[in-house]
Structure 1
């Protein structure tokens, strides 16, 4: 599996494009849909699915354009945020941009605890609310190179903000301790913003847990 990161313009949010021999898997289409589509057009691979770690505006802005080109690719989201795609107050676009950003409805809702296999992409969904009520982290385990897409829960030396609708600092800290810090130290953490880190590094150095 190859992982490509695209840093978007609006909030420097990260979009991740995973690829294998036959398909792409997209995590959090951000605000720069043109860069994402240019990358996807380099081959004739299909997009098998679009995974959202949560439904804040900066992580869903590319969905409308992406679905025009890949209409059969289902959008996965936590059921707690199913209304956010059409609600600019909940997805925070009114607060940050002063205008409404909306996206297409999700077609699939995560089944927590289920092992997913989408066209050869194998992962597990961990509930990590606190930044938002339906925040999830996506764990891809493989021998020698496991990685966690932590959305806006855990960053390098930081955690997600908790002052937006449904945010809760205590819940976020609990999510990270109970769900993420129980993982192996060497697992790479690929967050929704900023550079990658590891579980072990955040246990040792993240100031919110010292």
Structure 2
């Protein structure tokens, strides 16, 4: 599996591109902005987008979804629990003082246990609410080990905020403990912002998860 993660948009969202090397079929996770950069990386890899998926629908994670969908023809997918947040993009833009991105059609089918396929690549969906009601994480098993894409649920030495629309502090702790910390300690964690980590490191060193 080819995996590239890079910062996009005004708030530095981590966008990830996963490519199945045999079929060149790709999944794009959280295209939060900078469409030209995302397109350029896909073209360099010779990849065709099979799916566009989102860990949640805060504006900084969906900013380039519409042009990416139009260019690639791929379906854009969210958990239905975050539909209301996507409908609130104008309010989010006004609150943060950033440009309003173009909206597009979103399939609300990223349910817990769903599998997003791209060639021989399987991306497993874990519903991890708390940061938002429809927050999800993605788990991919690769020959080099498992990788979890946790969005803004789990960060290196931190967790996601729960004071925005639909946030729930109890739910985010439950999601992290039951869905993420139960993964193999060696699982690499690609977060929604900032550096990567591992499940084992966060079990041992994340101050928000002590006690």
Q: Distance in 2 between matches of 1:187 and 1:43?
A: 25
Q: Deviations over 1:177-197 (max 9, x none)?
A: 111111110000001101100
- 1:91-127 CA distance string (max 9 Å, x none): x322112654452121351132234433221121111
TM-score of the pair, normalised by structure 2: 0.91
What SS does the corresponding residue of 1:40 show, helix, strand or coil?
A: helix
The alignment partner of 1:110 has SS state of coil
* Contact 1:85–1:104 (8 Å) recurs in 2: no
Residue 36 of structure 1, CA deviation: 0.9
Using the alignment, how far apart are the partners of 1:9 and 1:35 within structure 2? Answer: 10
Runs of 5+ unmatched residues, structure 2? none
Structure 1 residue 138: deviation in Å? 0.4
Q: Give the one of 70, 73, 97 matched to 2:72.
A: 70
> Which residue of structure 2 aligns with residue 171 of structure 1?
171
**How far apart, in 1, do the equivalents of 2:45 and 2:179 lie?**
36
* Cα deviation digits, residues 126-147 of structure 1 (max 9, x gap): 1111111100000112354100
CA RMSD of aligned residues (A): 1.8
Partner residue in 2 for 1:158: 158
Which structure 2 residues correspond to residues 70-149 of structure 1 after superposition, within 5 A? Answer: 70-71=72-73, 73-88=74-89, 92-97=92-97, 100-149=100-149
Q: TM-score, normalised by structure 1?
A: 0.92
| Residue 40 of structure 1, aligned match among 19, 32, 42 | 42
Equivalences, count = 208
Paired with 1:98 and 1:23, the residues of 2 have a C-alpha distance of: 32
Q: Give the 3 Å change call, closer, same or farther, for CA 201–68 of structure 1 in structure 2.
A: same
Q: How far apart in 1 are the matches of 2:176 and 2:207?
A: 13
Q: Would you say the 8 A contact 1:116–1:124 is kept in 2?
A: yes
Q: Which secondary structure state, in structure 2, belongs to the residue aligned with residue 167 of structure 1?
A: coil
Q: Distance in 1 between matches of 2:78 and 2:29?
A: 11
Cα 1:77–1:157 shift into 2, 3 Å: same
In 2: Cα distance, 1:119 partner to 1:108 partner: 22
* Residues 182/31 of structure 1: CA separation in 2 closer, same or farther (3 Å cut): same
Instruction: Rate the CA distance shift 1:98–1:5 in 2: closer, same or farther, 3 A.
Output: closer
- SS of corresponding position for 1:106: coil
Q: CA deviation at 1:3?
A: 0.6
SS of the residue corresponding to residue 16 of structure 1 reads strand
Deviations 1:34-56 (A, max 9, x none): 21112122254310100111011
